[in-house]
Every structure is written in structure tokens, then in C-alpha cells.
Structure 1
């Protein structure tokens, strides 16, 4: 994700969707020195989690002054990460980009990608980048960071359930029961 965007220290970034992957993204972005890190999520618990994980500011996407607040805090985002995979999120994120800013699509969807204001998008030389998973080298880097205690994913484990409870785990995640981030199934 940070490699796809080429994120550098002191770049303003936005993370739309701070569930499991988005929460990890906040940690990684902080590690590479992105600043400020602005988290956007409709759930108050997810916004609180993002702040705990290192975001500088957490906003509700339904705030009518969201773009204004993002620009006041950052001057415009160098990179906006969409972890939600929702067309409305992508539109909102593009509206928060600085000139030459990048929208990185992490959340998957088969819905069409549209950009309102395409002339402005082109004039500002903004970009849309796709991201899908990680290369083996990225997994090795994450393992090394965890081993050296530079990165802690344990805070993302919100429960351990027996494998027989898989259906319950899926339901808890889908319904966001108990503010789950990641549930681990144990055989």
C-alpha cells in the first residue's frame, strides 16, 4: 500500500475506512512518516481506534465540512487511500486531493469508477492507482517489523473463536457486533 502510493515522510494522507486493513494502514503510514494522517470513517469506534493507532485527526464522512477540514489541516492530501470500496468514498477522497495527489484503491468493488469534475482532475494532474494485496517481499518486511517490535498487530485481534463458530464470526464482522477488527478462528 505505501509502496503503491510511494508515500514519503511529511506527506498528508487520508485513510477512508479504518476497519482492520485501514487501522493497519494508519500504523504503517505513521511508521513511514506520513503527516498528517487523517482517518475518515462513519463509525465513532473506528475513528477512536484510528486515533489510538496513530491518526492525527479522525473525521465522520457525513460531516458536510469534511473537505474544508481536510484542506485546513493538510492543504490537500498527497494520497487518499480508499479501504471502503464505495463509489461515494472515492468521490469524497478525490475532492480532498492536492494537485498531483493520488487516490489509491484498496477496497475492492465491481462498481464503476467515476470521477466528477474530470477536467479539474486532469488539470491538477491527479492519479488513480489500483492496489491488490502484497508481494512476498512486503509480507517479509511486515514480519521483520513485527519481530523487531516496530509494528504491533495484536491490537487488531478483537477475539479468538473456535472454528465451529465461523458463521458467528462472519455475522459479528458483517453486523459490526462488539466493534470487531479481526477475529481469529482456532481449530
Structure 2
């Protein structure tokens, strides 16, 4: 395929973006060209623009939560056909580290992240590794499929893999936006009870209750710990998820854990947090776990859950904007305008 396409470009030297005409990429061996249907706007995209995350390339196309159809197959690709409905993985293994050489590609030590280390999907087309594709069931809308690649799969990994939430455990979620909303839904899906949402926004708290939280508390409440204790029958939280990544949310979530409880840090920011004195931390037997990303198989699992009606993402798409207006979408997410769960870009 030859010609040009419209794509957003981020320039690291000036921290500016523009939508421009660029050449349509050609898939190499083992790769496919994907015609993008939708791509989400994530807070990590904002973090690259504002400098919270260091730039890896002088310029790059952003966007890592994509859905689309295969437009062209690269050499050696089998098992896929043009027109197939797919979600590309947001990471590529390096194939050279110790884990990759052992065949453990999902735990690559030098994983390359889409929209940071290579061009993403705020564009009409994007190139993806065939081995990182997930097939979209016919009854799953492209809009919902797009957000499986991070906005839903990262919470899934946090709940199931890092947090290891089991039936009957008490769970709290700090920050109920794009990631926290799905942590609430998934924690309920795996049998956590009660599930408690924490947010400063009353509209967001009400939405969390509608989507599966048993309680929703204002994290600024002076009597917060007492309310958590009452909601859990004095048990406090077995697992707390900090989806905001702020000093105050991290430390508050840690403080609401039961003895031996687990705090999973999912939200990312430049703020620092403390676990208190080593004596206090050791005696409490609490655990602090960092979480990032997902395994490719998680997208397939989630697609099946959506396809069979076990997971409802119909309210997760807050707005769809054209590619030419991507800057407006970025601004809306940064300013929490309309309290979005996910804003999608439509090339």
C-alpha cells in the first residue's frame, strides 16, 4: 500500500502535537497493517506530552488503545486475513533479553511500548506484530474492543494477577476514572465483597455505585476510616487499588488496609509516597505492589467476557472525537471535562 494518511505527531523537543500527512507504513515480516477504527486517549498519553514520562523518540504517533481491521499482511504472516477484526497489543517484546530467549515473550525485560517506543494508533493506519493481535468477536463493537488494550486489561491484570483478588475479599479503589471504574467492575466480577469506591467527585461516586461498587465514599471525609470499618464489619480492606497515583491516595489506601493487606499501585504520577516507618510497616505485614500493563491473553479473555455479556462496557465510552480534534480530546481528559471514562479518537 502506498500513499499518505493523517496521523497525530508528538514532538518531544517542543512538547507539541500536530495532525499531519505522513506515509502509510508498510508491514515488515511477521507484521500486519491495521486500518484503525478507534483509539482511546489515556492519561499516559498526557504524561508523555507534559513530560512526566520521558520521551524515547524525537517524534512519535501516540495512541495505544486501538481496534481495527487488517488491511495488509506482511511476509510470513499466517492465521490472519485481510478484513479480520483485531486489537493490537500495546507492547512488543525485544526478542533479545533473557526472558525472550527462553520463549517467555510476555515477560520481556525490555518491552517496547506502543506510542512511546514506536508509532501508535492516533492515525488512519498502524503497524502491529501478528503475534500480538487479538481477534474481536463479531458481537463486540469496535468502540468497546479498543479500550480492552489498556483501559480494561490493565485493571484486569491489577485485580487478577498482581492483586490476586479472590472471592469474599474486601476491596477499595481510589480514583474511579478510566482505570478505577474498570477495577470496580472486575473486582465485583471475581467476587470481591464489599467493593468500595473512593473519589472526591460526587458524580463519579454515583457512577461507581451504578457500575457495581457497594459503597462510594468521599476520600476527603474526616471519618473515612470509621466508614470503611463499618462497611467491612471491622475488617478493613484486604486489597486496595490506587488508580490515581497521588501521594494522598497512596498513603490513605495503605492506611485503610487490614493486617497483611495488599496495596496495588496502578496510577502513575511524578508524586512521591511513603510507607511510614520501617517498624510500623513491618509490624503491619502489609504489602505494596506496583502494577503495569497486562498479558496479551488478557485481551482475549476480556473480549470473551464482553461477547458473552459477563462484562458490560457500554458506559465506558464517554465521547468519540475525530482525529483532527485530538487536541480537544486531550484537553478534555486533562481537565476532567464531563468526567470521562474513555474518550475515543475516530480516524
TM interval, short-chain normalised: over 0.9
Q: Does 1:172 align with 2:172?
A: no
- Offset, 1:116: 2.3
TM-score normalised by the chain length of structure 1: 0.96
Aligned to 1:72: 230
Which residue of 1 is the match for residue 272 of structure 2?
A: 112
Could you say which residue in structure 2 is the equivalent of 1:145?
305
Greater CA drift, 106-115 or 164-173: 106-115
Q: Which of the residues 130, 136, 159 maps onto 2:296?
A: 136
- Provide the C-alpha distance between the structure 1 equivalents of 2:277 and 2:214, rounded to a whole number of angstroms: 29
Taking the aligned partners of 1:158 and 1:112, their CA distance within structure 2 comes to 31
Q: Could you tell me how far apart the structure 1 residues matched to 2:277 and 2:312 are? A: 40
**Separation in 2 of the partners of 1:4 and 1:180?**
26
Pairwise mapping of residues 53-64 of structure 1 onto structure 2 (< 5 A)? 53-64=211-222
**Which residue number corresponds to residue 5 of structure 1?**
163
Which residue of 1 is the match for residue 188 of structure 2? 30
Q: Which residue of structure 1 aligns with residue 177 of structure 2?
A: 19
Q: Does 1:81 align with 2:276?
A: no
Partner of 1:99: 259
Distance 1:157 1:114 in 2: 35
How far apart, CA to CA, are the structure 2 residues paired with 1:86 and 1:23? 17
Q: Distance in 2 between matches of 1:151 and 1:40?
A: 22
2:205 maps to what in 1? 47
In proportion to residue count, which structure has more helix?
1
**Structure 1, unaligned runs of 5 or more:** none
Q: Higher Cα Rg: structure 1 or 2?
A: 2
In structure 2, distance between residues paired with 1:28 and 1:127: 21
Unaligned stretches of 5+ residues in structure 2: 1-157
What are the superposed Cα offsets for residues 110-134 of structure 1, whole Å, 9 maximum, x if unpaired?
3333112442321121100011011
Partners of 2:177 and 2:337 in 1: CA distance: 13
Deviation at 1:58, TM superposition (A): 0.3
Secondary structure of the residue aligned to 1:155 is coil
Distance 2:311 2:244 in 1: 23
Q: 2:186, 2:339 → 1: CA distance?
A: 21
Q: Distance in 1 between matches of 2:327 and 2:290?
A: 31
Aligned residues, how many?
A: 187
Normalising by structure 2, we get a TM-score of: 0.53
Mapped partners of 2:215, 2:172: distance in 1: 9
Q: Which has the higher strand share?
A: 2
Report Cα offsets for 1:152-180 as digits up to 9, x if no partner. Answer: 21211011111111111111111121222
Q: CA deviation at 1:4?
A: 0.7
SS at 1:50 equivalent: helix
Which aligned segments of 4 or more residues in structure 1 are displaced greater than 4 angstroms? none
